[in-house]
Structure 1
Amino acid sequence: MSSSDYNPPTDPLDVIHEDAELLLVNKPAGLLSVPGKGEHLEDCLISRVQVAFPSALLVHRLDRDTSGVMVFALTKSAQRHLGLQFERRHTKKVYVALVHGAVDGKSGEIHLPMVVDWPNRPLQHVNFVHGKQAITQWRRGAVTDGVTRMRLSPLTGRSHQLRVHMQALGHPILGDPFYSDNADQYPRMMLHAESLKLRHPEGGKAIEFKAKAPF
């Protein structure tokens, strides 16, 4: 990616929740979660967060073109606690997506193993020989003018999982620059991390954080 390809939004930080252990932020689409390779890719969400919250530590990532709820730890112990929750799949994530075409059925579960597509990285693809388990639950929402609104819950955390699974279902996410052929028709990729449910590192209480989809 060249500097001309990366023009991240300059919106002020959108803080959803802050306490002594946790920071939840609504990430804008078009902004990297962490720095890329090269000076032109240094601007990212964690560097912006650390200006206001110097102790903030990375827990997980969202793709550059995905918006929505991201959690940062504000202490090392919170980072370890949250990291284990993600690793053990104890968190619950729900995304909203607009996809091409009218999806059949009301809900379902996609089981398609995935692996990096080495000649075309960072693209990923379905691979039944070398792929790692990838599972996505989906629920169909409204269908309007050949576009379906979907609620997607990844049960595994593979890179580009929702994007590849929607493409494999025959309903690529609108505006996806990698897995659809309509990216130039939309102002952004229509994928948003709407909610994240986790256990608070201090006390273990289950809490859900939300950021409404902007589309």
Structure 2
Amino acid sequence: MPARDGVDATRVVLRSGPERTVGECLLATPALAGCTLDDLAERAAAGELVDADGAPLDPGTPARLNSSVYLYRDLPDETPIPFDLPILYRDDAIVVVDKPHFLATMPRGRHVTQTALVRLRRELGSDHVSPAHRLDRLTAGVLLFTLRPEVRAAYQALFAERRADKEYRALAPVRADLADPVTVTNRIEKTAGDLRARVVDGEINASSAITLVEETDAGGVYRLQPHTGRTHQLRMHMAQLGVGIVGDPLYPDIRPELAELPDHGDFSQPLRLVAHSLAFDDPLTGKRREFVSGRSVA
């Protein structure tokens, strides 16, 4: 189904077999909390409940394990993110933005319209806008989107194949010996449902170069260069060095009081982590491109 007002239809993977109906499986999905069988019947009657091939579905149909169902869900109430999304660059293939803190890259869970993707789709009037990579909701900075489906794979490959050079800035307590670059390596894994990623034994899959580049009254400004892209990698590696990033609600310790502030409209304590620059050889033109955020961590 096409996007509606910039928001894609929701995909639900059915986790039960024919002993349950499609409707029963959907009502057990957290993302559809509050939905009723009557709601599903109305969607089905309007042709807005379909399978992976776009064929209409009846909620009473026996479910097929691991099959996909698409529908438009009711949008959650969201706290508006009161920050602009400046465009750093745009051509006929890509658009690069300077994402603010607290704005998710794309819809997930209770963050749907208050995301960079939906804002851009609405601003540019195109549902073809798609992220080439992601930034955490709490991280600000340079973020690249594609504008045409036929170029999407080429730009996404830059990140999947680690051909894009990314540099971050972070504010954290000063550790003077880190003026000499250090590289942190370990194995990071994140389990669905667990807020935090964890360091575990096994083959290394996470590597970051970290350097103190400036001392300010607010703390130390660090240059972070990730060689891999594990979830929360930079935040974990900074905490591991004893210099947890200012404003981090998860590392080194969980701080629920800090995490809850944005839900109450308080955006005064952002995670001081910014995707400072992004550079790559353009896969369409071969031209070297570099984009720099206008946001500061200090």
Q: Distance in 2 between matches of 1:91 and 1:57?
A: 17
Q: Distance in 2 between matches of 1:76 and 1:17?
A: 19
Task: Kindly indicate whether residue 241 of structure 2 is the aligned counterpart of residue 169 of structure 1.
Answer: yes
Task: Kindly indicate whether residue 186 of structure 2 is the aligned counterpart of residue 112 of structure 1.
Answer: yes
Give a deviation string over 1:100-121, Cα, whole Å, max 9, x none: 2424232111111100156x61
Q: Distance in 2 between matches of 1:126 and 1:162?
A: 12
Question: Could you tell me the TM-score, scaled by structure 1's length?
Answer: 0.87
Task: Kindly indicate whether residue 109 of structure 2 is the aligned counterpart of residue 63 of structure 1.
Answer: no
Equivalent residue for 2:160? Answer: 87
> What is the CA-CA distance between 1:33 and the residue it aligns to?
0.9
> Given that residues 114 and 133 in structure 1 are in contact (C-alpha distance below 8 angstroms), is that contact kept between their aligned partners in structure 2?
yes
> What is the CA-CA distance between 1:43 and the residue it aligns to?
2.0
Corresponding letter in the other structure for 1:44: T
Task: Kindly indicate whether residue 102 of structure 2 is the aligned counterpart of residue 27 of structure 1.
Answer: no
Range with greater deviation from structure 2 (120-129 or 159-168): 120-129
Corresponding residue to 1:147 among 198, 207, 219: 219
Give a deviation string over 1:109-157, Cα, whole Å, max 9, x none: 1111100156x6131011123x760011122112345822100011111
SS in 2 for 1:164: helix
Task: Kindly indicate whether residue 83 of structure 2 is the aligned counterpart of residue 11 of structure 1.
Answer: yes
Equivalent residue for 1:51? Answer: 122
Q: Distance in 1 between matches of 2:166 and 2:160?
A: 13
Q: Distance in 2 between matches of 1:71 and 1:172?
A: 27
Pairwise CA RMSD: 2.4
Question: Which consecutive unaligned segments of at least 5 residues does structure 1 have?
Answer: none
Range with greater deviation from structure 2 (92-101 or 23-32): 92-101
Corresponding letter in the other structure for 2:186: L
Q: Distance in 2 between matches of 1:132 and 1:49?
A: 36
Identity rate, percent: 29
Equivalent residue for 2:69? Answer: none
Work out which of the two has the higher radius of gyration on C-alpha atoms and give 1 or 2: 2
> Given that residues 78 and 201 in structure 1 are in contact (C-alpha distance below 8 angstroms), is that contact kept between their aligned partners in structure 2?
no
Corresponding letter in the other structure for 2:103: L
Equivalent residue for 2:281? Answer: 199
Equivalent residue for 2:42? Answer: none
Q: Which has the higher contact order (CA 8 A, sep 6+)?
A: 1
Equivalent residue for 1:159? Answer: 231
Equivalent residue for 2:270? Answer: 188
Corresponding letter in the other structure for 2:282: H
> What is the CA-CA distance between 1:163 and the residue it aligns to?
0.5
> Given that residues 102 and 147 in structure 1 are in contact (C-alpha distance below 8 angstroms), is that contact kept between their aligned partners in structure 2?
no
Equivalent residue for 2:151? Answer: 78
> Given that residues 182 and 211 in structure 2 are in contact (C-alpha distance below 8 angstroms), is that contact kept between their aligned partners in structure 1?
yes
> Given that residues 236 and 252 in structure 2 are in contact (C-alpha distance below 8 angstroms), is that contact kept between their aligned partners in structure 1?
no
SS in 2 for 1:112: strand
> Given that residues 185 and 204 in structure 2 are in contact (C-alpha distance below 8 angstroms), is that contact kept between their aligned partners in structure 1?
no
Compare the two structures and name the one with the higher strand fraction: 1
Corresponding residue to 1:125 among 171, 192, 198: 198
> What is the CA-CA distance between 1:41 and the residue it aligns to?
4.3
SS in 2 for 1:77: helix
* Equivalent residues in 2 for 1:93-104, closer than 5 Å: 93-104=166-177
Corresponding residue to 2:109 among 32, 37, 56: 37
> What is the CA-CA distance between 1:47 and the residue it aligns to?
0.4
Range with greater deviation from structure 2 (27-36 or 41-50): 41-50
Q: Distance in 2 between matches of 1:113 and 1:163?
A: 14
Corresponding letter in the other structure for 2:98: N
Question: Which consecutive unaligned segments of at least 5 residues does structure 2 have?
Answer: 1-75, 259-267
